[in-house]
Amino acid sequence: MKGWLILLASITCLYSNLLAQRLPSDSLAPEGKKIDILSALKYNYQKLDSINEFVSLVGNVIVKQDKVLFYADSAVLNRQLNILEAFGNVHINDADSIHTYAQYLKYLGKEKKAYLQKKVRLTDGEGTLTTDELEYDATVKIGTYLKGGKLVNKKSTLTSTEGYYYGDTKDVIFKKKVVMVDPDNKINSDTLQYNTSTEIATFTAPTVVYNNKDKRTIKTREGFYDMKNKKAELYKRSVIEDSSAIFTADDMAFDDSTGLGEFRGNAVYKSKDTAQGFDMIANNIRTNKKTNSMVATQKPLLLIKQGADTIYIAADTLYSARLSDLTKKRVVPQIRDASGLDSISKQTKLIPKDEEDSADKFFEAYYNVKIFSDSLQATGDSLFYSLKDSVFRLFKKPIVWAQENQITGDTIYLFIKNKKPERLYVFENSMAINKVDSADYYNQLKGTTINANFLDGKIHDMRAKGNAENVYYALDEEKNFIGVNKSTADIIDVFFEDSKPQKVVFLRNLEGTTYPMRNTNHEDLKIRGFKWLENIRPKSKFDLLIFK
């Protein structure tokens, strides 16, 4: 009995094929666009008029046009108009490259366009697109949905109101209420292009990317993100914000797999830490997330937040990294002494393992360093600053100005406390010069070292040690000159009032002479090495942006 059934099915299929071959050949479709019937279990032919010639097919229906195969449970073919309607388990095989499934299909053979409805699914071997209604153009391999759809590609899921699939390139353009989700990111946009093969998402409209792992938010208008390799390039003034900082730049690129990033064109780094925070501006900033380091070039500017009196630092290059990593490679002296100042170790606090210690950071600036704040200004060849001890270390011919006072030496340490200058220590060839009002006279103090203490941001006292020399212009109560004294001693202390010398004290081996103001060559009174360098003093924060 089973053999008879097989034989009957074979005869039926053969009969259907013979009838298909015997159908009239006056179809309006040109050769190559004609829809050919390959097989069906049941077949019915009906001709109503010259343009309505129908062939009904039932059971395991297979038809073909060029390299496109159509499968369905049943179908109706208008041979004259070359239109196919298919029902139930519809499957379109486009040259074994794109497969589309649905429960209903209307196919226009002349235009090679398919209209699919109900549980529509399109796959190219990489991703799967699902929707309720889809238009598919077999000529150019483009699928379009306008009433909502979803693409699933490996671990990524994309949804939108409209979508356009390009089979040749495996690109999908999503429009209106676009949402993309993968294990690490959630993306919201109005327009997004995604490639199912390369897994690259391209942004062409305002887009927000939220990274679950790093708690990072990206806002951009143009760029791309390589989901497979975790790389991105963003343009048109994009913004990256995480728990610690906000990054803004004209162009930016980063690699989440290596932790490296580069920010170009008016790049701005803004720290969220109000206590130990800093901002950085440059035309180029490169970062390493794994080492929490960054290097800024092309007119960089560092802003160390000191309450109302922000400190601005400019140099050819600015570098920042973890202090704890630096101390593993070289010795960083703890230069805070015990006289009322906390050492680095005393300032260290316990930080949870999953959090970054905001104070565990240092800055290096080199070359052509310039500093500006309302309290003081400085220049030098290079600088080192640690947030742990709040000490600026200036090297190679540094100069510090505080009100009308200029201080120079081979190396200068500037201590900051409670957001204000606290102490100044000058090593070797130390000299302090104070301009006396508007007159062309200068109080001078020189020694091997100079220590200066500040009170409320102003110099309170100063001590010179080691072959100390002093030139002091004495004034009476009415600000008239009494005379000028030039002296030497082992130690010379100068006490200030309103940043101006008011009292001089000499300790051990004093030698000195007081000269009248008249009949005195004031140039001869200048101590060896005297240089008044007001012309290179930064007058405002804008002077730091002038690079000569």
- The token pair at 325 is 């990593």
Using 50, 70 and 90 to split pLDDT, how confident is the model at 390?
confident
Answer yes or no: is pLDDT of 29 > 70.
no
| 369/430 same-domain check | no
Answer yes or no: is pLDDT of 49 > 90.
no
pLDDT of residue 22: 42
Residue with tokens 């062939």: 55
| Residue 248 or 403, more confident | 248
Residue type, 401: W
Cβ atoms 200, 232 nearer than 8 A: no
- The token pair at 168 is 């040749």
| 471/375 same-domain check | no
- Separation between Cα atoms, residue 54 and residue 77, nearest integer Å: 5
- The token pair at 160 is 């939108």
How large is the average pLDDT for residues 344-351? Answer: 39
pLDDT of residue 249: 97
| 276/378 same-domain check | yes
| 421/499 same-domain check | yes
Using 50, 70 and 90 to split pLDDT, how confident is the model at 547?
low
Please state the pTM of the whole predicted model.
Answer: 0.81
- Please provide the DSSP assignment of 112-162 as one string: TEEEEEEEEEEE-SS-EEEEEEEEEETTTTEEEESS-EEEEETTEEEEESE
Q: Domain count for the chain, please give it.
A: 2
Answer yes or no: is pLDDT of 451 > 80.
yes
Residue with tokens 């170790």: 345
Helix H or strand E segment including 9: helix 2-22
Cβ atoms 322, 276 nearer than 8 A: no
pLDDT of residue 308: 66
How large is the average pLDDT for residues 36-41? Answer: 94
pLDDT of residue 350: 42
How large is the average pLDDT for residues 202-220? Answer: 94
How large is the average pLDDT for residues 76-87? Answer: 93
Q: How many helices (H) and strands (E) does the chain have?
A: 3, 40
pLDDT of residue 195: 95
- The token pair at 348 is 């260290």
pLDDT of residue 357: 66
The model's pLDDT over 404-450, given as tens digits with 9 standing for 90+, comes to 899 999 999 999 887 678 899 998 999 999 988 777 899 999 999 99
- The token pair at 425 is 């220590």
Answer yes or no: is pLDDT of 210 > 60.
yes
Confirm whether 522 is domain-assigned: yes
pLDDT of residue 490: 93
Confirm whether 133 is domain-assigned: no
DSSP for residue 390: T
Give CA torsion, residues 7, 12, 17, 21, to 10 deg: 120
| 298/403 same-domain check | no
Closest alpha carbon to 380 in 397, 365, 357, 361: 397
Confirm whether 297 is domain-assigned: yes
Using 50, 70 and 90 to split pLDDT, how confident is the model at 457?
confident
Cβ neighbour number for residue 301 with a 10 Å cutoff: 20
* Residue burial 79-102, b: 16+ Cβ < 10 Å; e: rest: bbbbbbbbbeebbbbbeeebbbbb
| Residue 20 or 456, more confident | 456
Answer yes or no: is pLDDT of 348 > 80.
no
Cα 247 vs. chain centroid, distance in angstroms?
A: 5
Answer yes or no: is pLDDT of 304 > 70.
yes
Answer yes or no: is pLDDT of 344 > 70.
no
Helix H or strand E segment including 181: strand 171-181
Residue type, 498: D
| 381/410 same-domain check | no
Confirm whether 376 is domain-assigned: yes
Confirm whether 361 is domain-assigned: yes
Confirm whether 507 is domain-assigned: yes
Which CATH number does the domain housing residue 437 bear? 2.60.450.10
The model's pLDDT over 479-538, given as tens digits with 9 standing for 90+, comes to 888 899 999 999 999 999 888 888 899 999 899 899 998 888 999 999 999 999 999 999
* Residue burial 203-215, b: 16+ Cβ < 10 Å; e: rest: bbeebebbbeeee
For 308, phi then psi, to 5°, come to: -75, -20
Residue type, 477: E
Q: What percent of the chain has pLDDT over 70?
A: 88
| Range of 148-162, 475-489, 531-545 with top mean pLDDT | 148-162
CA Rg value for the chain: 41
Q: What percent of the chain has pLDDT over 90?
A: 65
pLDDT of residue 243: 87
How large is the average pLDDT for residues 239-246? Answer: 92
Cβ atoms 429, 410 nearer than 8 A: yes
pLDDT of residue 4: 40
| 373/462 same-domain check | no
Task: Kindly tell me the burial class for residue 389, based on how many C-beta atoms sit within 10 Å of its own C-beta (0-12, 13-18, 19 or more).
Answer: buried
- Separation between Cα atoms, residue 33 and residue 79, nearest integer Å: 11
Cα 450 vs. chain centroid, distance in angstroms?
A: 43
pLDDT of residue 355: 55
Answer yes or no: is pLDDT of 100 > 80.
yes
pLDDT of residue 336: 66
How large is the average pLDDT for residues 125-137? Answer: 94
- Separation between Cα atoms, residue 143 and residue 166, nearest integer Å: 7
Length of the chain in terms of residues written? 548
- Separation between Cα atoms, residue 92 and residue 85, nearest integer Å: 12
- Separation between Cα atoms, residue 385 and residue 368, nearest integer Å: 16
pLDDT of residue 61: 97
Answer yes or no: is pLDDT of 103 > 50.
yes
- Separation between Cα atoms, residue 417 and residue 423, nearest integer Å: 9
How large is the average pLDDT for residues 46-75? Answer: 90
Confirm whether 366 is domain-assigned: yes
Using 50, 70 and 90 to split pLDDT, how confident is the model at 328?
confident
How large is the average pLDDT for residues 76-97? Answer: 94
How large is the average pLDDT for residues 29-37? Answer: 72
Q: What are the CA-CA distances from residue 377 to residues 276, 300, 370, 373, 465 (Å)?
A: 21, 17, 8, 6, 24
Phi-psi region of 348 (alpha: psi -120 to 50; beta: other; left: phi over 0): beta
| Residue 456 or 70, more confident | 70
| Domain enclosing residue 532, as ranges | 397-545
Mean pLDDT of the chain: 87
| 401/540 same-domain check | yes
Answer yes or no: is pLDDT of 26 > 50.
no
| 445/532 same-domain check | yes
| 339/361 same-domain check | yes
pLDDT of residue 30: 53
- Separation between Cα atoms, residue 139 and residue 155, nearest integer Å: 30
Using 50, 70 and 90 to split pLDDT, how confident is the model at 306?
low
Cβ neighbour number for residue 294 with a 10 Å cutoff: 23
- The token pair at 530 is 């005297």
- Separation between Cα atoms, residue 355 and residue 258, nearest integer Å: 20
- Separation between Cα atoms, residue 280 and residue 300, nearest integer Å: 7
The full 3-state SS of 247-298, as one line of letters, equals EEECEEEEECCCCEEEEEEEEEEEECCCCCCEEEEEEEEEEECCCCEEEEEC
pLDDT of residue 14: 43
pLDDT of residue 137: 95
The answer to which of 29-38, 74-83, 151-160 has the lowest mean pLDDT is 29-38
Answer yes or no: is pLDDT of 199 > 80.
yes
Cβ atoms 153, 227 nearer than 8 A: no
Using 50, 70 and 90 to split pLDDT, how confident is the model at 21?
very low
Confirm whether 276 is domain-assigned: yes
Whether residue 367 has a cis bond before it, omega within 30° of 0: yes
| 381/436 same-domain check | no
| 381/426 same-domain check | no
| Residue 159 or 403, more confident | 159
- Separation between Cα atoms, residue 547 and residue 315, nearest integer Å: 9
